[in-house]
């Protein structure tokens, strides 16, 4: 009986996750949640060369993998996530890992969140959103800001380095 109850609860959580993912894509112009592999986390760390003075924002932070990896390098990190279930899960993981002092997850829409305070932006977006994201990045980021895009390129931008489908860009001076 207990096993059946656990199975039913698991199915309910999966259904909730699916519904919230669909809402994320349709309503908020976001991407379905897909975790970042350890290989790509290593590529991010290698390309970004973070310092304790860096403040990193992960757009669509999912379960907080990138945020936690960043904090372990000594930098501070903020995750922006619209899916309340993933916000709950990532906050719990961060608290349990003892990383709360330098990591924060904000339940917000990346399209309305101001990116100007950050020295580094990480995004694992999806093809159709990258053109719109490019415009937001150009409007809000300071020259010299690092932008790492996992898998999908930023249209019209030239990456300065690439590793394991992670592209590193540096925001150029505005003309």
* 3-state SS record for 105-118: EEECCCCCCCCCCC
Q: Is the pLDDT of residue 70 over 70?
A: yes
pLDDT over threshold 50, residue 28: no
Q: Which of the residue ranges 2-11, 26-35, 42-51, 94-103 would you say has the lowest mean pLDDT?
A: 26-35
List the chain domain ranges: 2-170
Tell me how far apart the alpha carbons of residues 84 and 105 are, in angstroms, rounded to a whole number. 10
Helix H segments across 49-124?
A: 65-71, 84-96
- Dump strand ranges (E) for the chain: 55-59, 76-81, 103-107, 120-123, 146-150, 161-163, 166-170
Q: Is residue 29 scored above 80 in pLDDT?
A: no
125 and 133 in contact (C-beta within 8 Å)? yes
174: confidence class by pLDDT, cuts 50, 70, 90: confident
User: Where does 2-170 sit in CATH, by number?
Assistant: 3.40.50.150
Q: Is 172 helix (H, G, I), strand (E, B) or coil?
A: coil
- C-alpha distances out from residue 90 to 86, 125, 158, 170, Å: 6, 18, 32, 28
DSSP letters spanning 146-158: EEEEESSPPTT--
Contact 7, 75 (CB under 8 A): no
């Amino acid at each position: 009986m207990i096993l059946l109850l656990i199975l039913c609860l698991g199915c309910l959580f999966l259904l909730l996750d699916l519904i919230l993912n669909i809402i994320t894509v349709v309503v908020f112009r976001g991407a379905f949640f897909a975790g970042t592999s350890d290989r790509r986390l290593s590529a991010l760390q290698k390309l970004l060369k973070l310092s304790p003075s860096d403040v990193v924002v992960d757009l669509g932070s999912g379960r907080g993998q990138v945020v936690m990896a960043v904090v372990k390098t000594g930098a501070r990190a903020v995750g922006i996530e619209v899916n309340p279930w993933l916000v709950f899960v990532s906050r719990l993981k961060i608290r349990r890992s003892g990383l709360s002092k330098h990591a924060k997850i904000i339940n917000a829409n990346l399209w309305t969140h101001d990116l100007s305070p950050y020295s580094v932006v990480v995004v694992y977006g999806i093809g159709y959103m990258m053109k719109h994201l490019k415009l937001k990045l150009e409007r809000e980021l300071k020259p010299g800001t690092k932008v790492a895009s996992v898998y999908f390129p930023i249209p019209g931008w030239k990456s300065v380095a690439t590793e394991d489908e992670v592209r590193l860009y540096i925001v150029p001076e505005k003309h």
